Amino acid sequence: MHELTVSPWASLAYLVAGVCFILALRGLSSPASSQRGNRFGIIGMTIAVVTTLVTHVPLRSVAVPLGNPHDLMIDWVTVGEILAAIGVGAAIGLVTARRIAMTAMPQLVAAFHSLVGLAAVLVGVAAYLNPQAFGISDLVVPMIGQPFAVIHPVSRIELGLGVAIGAITFSGSVIAFLKLNGNMGGKPIMLPGRHVINLALLAGILGLIAYFVTDQSAWIFWTITLLSFVIGFLLIVPIGGADMPVVVSMLNSYSGWAAAAMGFTLHNSAMIITGALVGSSGAILSYIMCRAMNRSFISVIAGGFGAVADTSGGGTAIDRPWKRGSAEDAAFLMSQAEQVIIVPGYGMAVAQAQHVLREMGDKLKAEGVRVKYAIHPVAGRMPGHMNVLLAEANVPYDDVFELEDINSEFAQTDVAFVIGANDVTNPAAKTDKASPIYGMPVLDVEKAKTVLFIKRSMGGVGYAGVDNDLFYRDNTMMLLADAKKMVEDIVKALD
């Protein structure tokens, strides 16, 4: 495959694509403009892909009887393979997007991150094995047996970093997927001496990348790749379920930097721009979420650095008195209220109760009740998970509030209606220093006059593995049932 010189129009097209990606990020910053942001993203990616295909048409040398003994023509076989691969990927993406449940969106995102990381590794491997095809080697040193292409020193740095970040992203995203999908437990897995091991592996990877600049031996390249796969696994395993939304955001950042590094190898400015945007925005979002959770950003990205095993015994439900209510009780209390604040969580997503929840809110509004929705920054399994679910159910954007904007209103609220949100409503985060979620800002639902809490049973605990003190408060009424079924019964009782 021969690389064509990038023409001015191609550079302009990549610039337009980059602008579209920036506008996409700007639009995705708010639910009200998210659809417009998605459209800009689609347009930008279409421009980038088409431009890359046009400017990198695969060519092959052919012998001609007259003139130049070696002429170039389009390699239609390779073109067909590329188009077939694009078709297969597009078909898989289309089917997945149509069939995936909103509850599985976090693990789908983690899976996508793993594919980006793996793609970066595969591109790096291809570039290392055939550097001349990527334009990163123009010197061939005769060696015994076969010629040897010397990779440019700068390209070796790009290759080393791209492969390392890609491998970390891949293995880390696989672990995140397994945790989010329930194939692994949500509790942190604390390996003995993990910090020393991680620091040693990181130092080894960086040292090998530096050595790779002076010696491009195969053992160095493959050792960098292998160690990076290992450290990606070790970094994510110690991180517990309470921090998983930050992990998803962090892996998103990693995938961006991996793509940017490979953009340099491929001499593709669109990949560099896109990767830098994704990497920087993901890092900023991770930092903001860590602040919202009162977590140390360095601690989380270092693989649970400073985390300790839970010795509080809070991993099981406590046998304490609690009050149980019915759908009729809940309907009566909310219909008599002046204001109801609904707090959705992952339990709502699992039950797919967002549409009937919006119907309940509409009925309460029709009876003169003010209805608001309170969203914790890390409710669900990924950033913005609850916002997406409510938007899918056509809940008005003006009714949805973030934690810092609505927390002060719970003290003046008649009913706080919690549907499947456990850890983000646990008062122990403010009082129990032994709790693994201590210090994480939570929604002050316990300050409402009455708390209605929908939960399947009293036996389970939240994703962080701790019991919720809110269940046993005097002003809390437990509504034990499937979330969707309970809300449907409440809607019937409101008629």
- Give the residue numbers marked as catalytic: 423
Q: For residues 272 and 258, is the Cβ–Cβ distance under 8 A?
A: no
Distance CA(357)–CA(353), nearest Å, equals 6
Q: Where are the beta strands (DSSP E) in 242-347?
A: 339-344
Separation between Cα atoms, residue 341 and residue 345, nearest integer Å: 13
Half-sphere exposure of 55 (CA within 13 A, CB side): 21
Could you give the CA distance from residue 58 to residue 72 in angstroms, rounded to a whole number? 10
Sequence-ordered alpha helix ranges (H) in 267-314: 269-292, 297-301
Structure tokens at 405: 């904007």
For residue 178, give Cα distances in angstroms to 72, 236, 364, 422. 48, 11, 40, 21
How, if at all, do strands 370-375 and 70-74 pair? unpaired
- Which tokens in the block code for residue 83? 């188009």
Q: State phi, psi for 18 to the nearest 5 degrees.
A: -60, -40
Q: How many CA atoms lie within 13 A of 375 on its CB side?
A: 21
DSSP state of 116: H
Q: How far apart are CA 469 and CA 458, in angstroms?
A: 12
Distance CA 223, CA 256 (A): 23
Residue appearing with tokens 């389970």: 460
Scan for tokens 């052919």, then name that residue. 62
C-alpha distances out from residue 320 to 317, 342, 469, Å: 9, 25, 10
What gap in Å lies between CA 243 and CA 236, rounded to an integer?
10
475, amino acid identity? N
Separation of alpha carbons 157 and 176, rounded Å: 28
Q: Which residues pair with 133 in a beta bridge?
A: none
